[in-house]
Amino acid sequence: MQQSPVQSIKGTRDFYPELFQTREWLVSKIKKVSEAFGYQPYEGPYLEKLELYAAKSGDELVKEQAFCFEDRGGEFISLRPELTPTLARMVAQKQRQLAFPLRWYQFGPFWRYERPQRGRSREFFQWNIDLLGVNSAAADAEMICICAAFFESVGLTPDTTKIQINHRGLMDGELNRIGIVPEQKKDVFRLIDRRGKMNEAAWCKYAVDLGLATAQIEGIADLLMNSDLWKSSDDLARINEAVKAAGYEAYVEFTPTIIRGLDYYTGTVFEAMDIRGGRALLGGGHYDNLVGDVGGEQLPGVGFAMGDVMISVVLEDYGLLPDYEGLSDTVMVTIFDETTQTASLALASMLRSQGIKASLYPETEKLVKQFKYADRMGMAVALVLGPDEIANNTIAVKDLRSRNQVEVPAAKIIETVNKFLA
């Protein structure tokens, strides 16, 4: 009885060539947008000391989501669940040697013990981008423009995607005005976060259960209905002006219910949403305490993170992922028979030396089988170098799409192949 194949670990993905091509396409978009704004790529280790996350990210991440183990030296190590603590450590270690403002971006793998579902996995890739050393609305606006530029580059329009922004200082001031004391704010932030997820009666009951007075509940409800509230925030007014000047204002809207992370961020906070599907695509904001928690000097900054899983799901749903191209930019060099094998090998090598990708069929088989293989791999062109071609110093070029075949002088093969590939 044949044994069943060993299954992959739950919550991980196998990147077969088609899925890998999609990931590389996404990386190319991230790289192009990041570097267009002057950001440099960087990377940190995949393993960090557990104490780094305990210092920076809190008990929930460490105890419930981190994949950790004890190494042979008795030290507790974690697969990285996020990059912010690593970024803080790296900056703290060389803070006096780095040039600020610092603009860095990264795309790499992360691990969290999540409940796997569509759009969420335990092993994922993430885009992280940060601007450090500046405490200004202009820096926050730049980060929001980067989000919008990325969405534009992958075909997501303002009709489907919004960057929803809020501000910690604005919300703190408004909550103080309606009588919310500091001890109540954590609960009130949760209440605000649930405003669009519960019906009116359930939301009001939840507010009462938190111990809020009627006047406070009414004040919060009015606050969340005020779409012009952002105009009373100098930072948000400046951000709006900068985003408008950059041409991305259609992507951005003030949303007072964007509250997640306000206990971590100290200024602007934002989330990008697929507004038709109600799916969060990325999140970030402004912070003032990035490096101090790991031994460096306090350093302001702004940044965001975007996982590859949900954005890929959304792009697939909107039909925006590229078609699989296979080896469309590669030429198949066939082997006519054993007597011509060396000549075919030399031809493939010559093509590569001229910058043309060339795949040599690894054994002598019927040409029909070699053509079929090339076709399945997505190649557009196959070359035949048989005894007649060698004698005439020519090469047969077969267009696998039209099935037409032409014979060209060997001296013109580079020119001919480039035309076919173009």
Q: Which CATH superfamily is domain 330-421 in?
A: Anticodon-binding domain (3.40.50.800)
CATH 3.30.930.10 fits 17-45+83-317, yes or no: yes
**Domain boundary assignment for the chain:** 17-45+83-317, 330-421
Print pLDDT tens along the chain (422 aa): 678 888 888 889 999 999 999 999 999 999 999 999 999 999 999 999 988 887 655 556 666 788 888 899 999 899 999 999 899 999 999 999 999 999 999 999 999 987 877 877 899 999 999 999 999 999 999 999 999 999 999 999 999 999 999 999 999 999 999 999 988 888 898 899 888 888 989 999 999 999 999 999 999 999 999 989 999 999 999 999 999 999 999 999 999 989 876 667 889 999 999 999 889 999 999 988 778 777 788 899 999 999 999 999 999 999 999 999 999 999 999 999 999 999 999 999 999 999 999 999 999 999 999 999 999 999 999 999 999 999 999 999 999 988 899 999 999 999 999 998 98
Is the pTM higher than 0.85? The answer reads: yes
How far is the C-alpha of 60 from the C-alpha of 146, rounded, in Å? 30
SS (H, E, C) the chain: CCCCCCCCCCCCCCCCHHHHHHHHHHHHHHHHHHHHCCCEECCCCCEEEHHHHHHHCCHHHHHHHCCEEECCCCCEEEECCCCHHHHHHHHHHCCCCCCCCEEEEEEEEEECCCCCECCECCEEEEEEEEEECCCCHHHHHHHHHHHHHHHHHHCCCCCCEEEEEEEHHHHHHHHHHCCCCHHHHHHHHHHHHCCCCCCHHHHHHHHHHCCCCHHHHHHHHHHHHCCCHHHHCHHHHHHHHHHHHHCCHHHEEECCCCCCCCCCCCCEEEEEEECCCCEEEEEEEEECCCCHHHCCCCCCEEEEEEEHHHHHHHHHHCCCCCCCCCCCCEEEECCCCHHHHHHHHHHHHHHHHCCCEEEECCCCCCHHHHHHHHHHCCCCEEEECCHHHHHHCEEEEEECCCCCEEEEEHHHHHHHHHHHHC
